[in-house]
Structure 1
């Protein structure tokens, strides 16, 4: 199927610039998926931070190649390897990609870099009010919209169908095997625990650790099991949380890689966290969550499903507010489980009626039960 787009040619090779962190890449997955659907045979490369190689390996349905980004002046995500930039640009220009897509911010710093990549076509965002290099291929950077929608809007601007906002995170056998070893040590039964993730990038974007500790204590007293998660770099924060706790919690800080954390989350009852990458992971896995947004835009970065994911805003968020949302999500899960059981029961009744023509006539299950009773 050939799609009629604004692009001067159908791209056979595409490079996407998005040298950012986990949450940023998860929010771009709907755009990656739409690109793959639109150009199923194209070679699509991600130009990203060093850690992103594992992301590309996991999302190999949409992405074919990882290219390490050396950094660029004005971009704060990593130290700039100035000496590596000339060789990097030379290598990119030799490859002559058909299309370079700028999905890394407004374009204030990255659009100059984009032209230096030497692609036949360039497209992306420009800061609102700035002159566009090409109005057909660049659009004003849309503020105050959900992050996944921002990149889908860019693709639609290019004439590429892009309407599916769903996040996703595929799990593999290695993820499950690693989790099972962790599960055997700690006795983690599915649905029996709540994950507490108090870390996040920058103290200004984290809810107070002592409040996380209070929430954990209250949950344990209410009969929940609490599992504390985080990277090794986040241990100073989690240590403060546990210092303020009086009850016991399972400490898995530094013991999970991304895939293992995803399996752990997928089998949890809920997640309580700051607005950070793990929040988007829970959204991708459809795990109920309570997210405290401190110093970030909840419209841009908060989960879009506000039924399954509850968003509380600001450092002034109270322990009682968090616990109220936990209880509301518990009630929702109970309702959905009982509703599913009721639907399954109704489906059995309808199947029996279709098979035997009357609800009064015994079904095979009832006949079997009668026969068993007669044998006793």
Structure 2
């Protein structure tokens, strides 16, 4: 196989979860040219992971696929470009295959691989696995690679840094010393995935009372959420919401002594850097998305018969989020890191 396409048009956290699969693929086929097909933002992801990814194609979206509004006019040009690349293999890493298998088939690759639903189309029984029972996102796609002959079971996440990331952090101004601050990330793309901002504020105050300095992170769209957190707090905080790049955010997470966040991309950045974290899972599936290292990362959630859900906002009062108290989160943080901030050399693995 000289030319391999990988289709996964999803967000940062989803992409980080397939890094072990990409690593296994590259190690098995080091001479192959691997092209990632993803959302526009993922061009930076492909560039950062250039040790596994050789080229990038922007996916223009497709009717019925919710990740982006489809640019239907761009689809013919995209598919023509894909076919001209004459892929030997196209790997579908975009879920169960209900719609994504048809999209990958349009790329014109000589062979396809991926997952298929039990009652759905299976393009090739030799290279497609049944979607099957709930499974962790990392191990599921690593298992697919193993079925294709890629050896290895390394589930570790990673996030490579650039020199520009350090410069971007320095440009943020004076910040707390490394390992002496907690990163509080209260936002999430979907409101159903957000633990109450007021409770984040209570946890932040509890940690501040024990010597932690507090750094708030988030996107520009999450500035209102951060403002809610700060309104609840009595302690001061460094509010970096809307001011970080992808690289500087990841570096802040790596330098933090602790991360407290929703089950979102930041939780996967913490897993990639080894920074201890307490993750509150609201609406999602902890079995599928929780960090695999349960000693360094604690995932808290409340049982609810309706989870996992696909609602943007919970229509029944958000019991899965409200069922996790601020005291429970603070207790988990203190159990991980003791009564106050510690340096990396003092942390147990």
Partner of 1:29: 19
- 2:25 is the counterpart of 1:47: no
1:15 maps to 2:22: no
CA contact (8 A) 1:197 1:230 kept: yes
Deviation at 1:334, TM superposition (A): 6.0
Could you list the per-position Cα deviations for residues 139-166 of structure 1 after superposition, in whole angstroms to 9, with x for gaps in the alignment?
1014421101111111122222141111
Determine the structure 2 residue equivalent to 1:136. Answer: 126
Unaligned runs of 5+ residues in structure 1 are: 1-10, 341-376
Provide the secondary structure at the position in 2 that maps to 1:46.
strand
* Structure 2: 5+ residue stretches without partners: 303-320
Deviates more, 1:231-240 or 1:101-110: 231-240
| CA shift for structure 1 position 336 | 8.1
CA-to-partner distance for each residue in 1:79-114, whole Å, 9 max, x for gaps?
011111112112211221111000001110011111
Question: Deviation of residue 247 (structure 1)?
Answer: 2.1
Distance 1:285 1:188, change over 3 A: same
Work out which of the residue numbers 84, 92, 97 in structure 1 matches 2:82.
92
1:324 maps to 331
CA displacement, residues 181-209 of structure 1 (integer Å, 9 cap, x when unaligned): 32xx2232111110000001111111011
Out of 266, 270, 277, the position equivalent to 1:278 is: 266
Equivalent residue for 2:109?
119
Paired with 2:171 and 2:235, the residues of 1 have a C-alpha distance of 25
Number of aligned residues? 328
Cα distance, 1:168 vs structure 2: 0.4
The SS at the match of 1:186 is coil
Q: Secondary structure at the match of 1:171?
A: coil
| Distance (whole Å) between structure 1 residues aligned to residue 137 and residue 225 of structure 2 | 27
**Alignment-derived partner of residue 309 in structure 1:** 297
State how far apart, in whole Å, the 2-side matches of 1:61 and 1:335 are: 31
1:149 is aligned to 2:136: no
TM-score for the superposition, normalised by structure 1: 0.84
Matched, 1:200 2:188: yes
The SS at the match of 1:71 is: coil
Q: TM-score, normalised by structure 2?
A: 0.90
Distance 2:140 2:19 in 1: 12
Contact 2:98 2:120 in 1 (8 A): no
Structure 1 residue ranges, 4+ long, deviating more than 3 angstroms after superposition: 331-340
Shift of 1:235: 0.9
Partner of 1:367: none
- Aligned partners of 1:181, 1:335: CA distance in 2, in Å? 24
Distance in structure 1 (CA, Å) of the matches to 2:133 and 2:44? 30
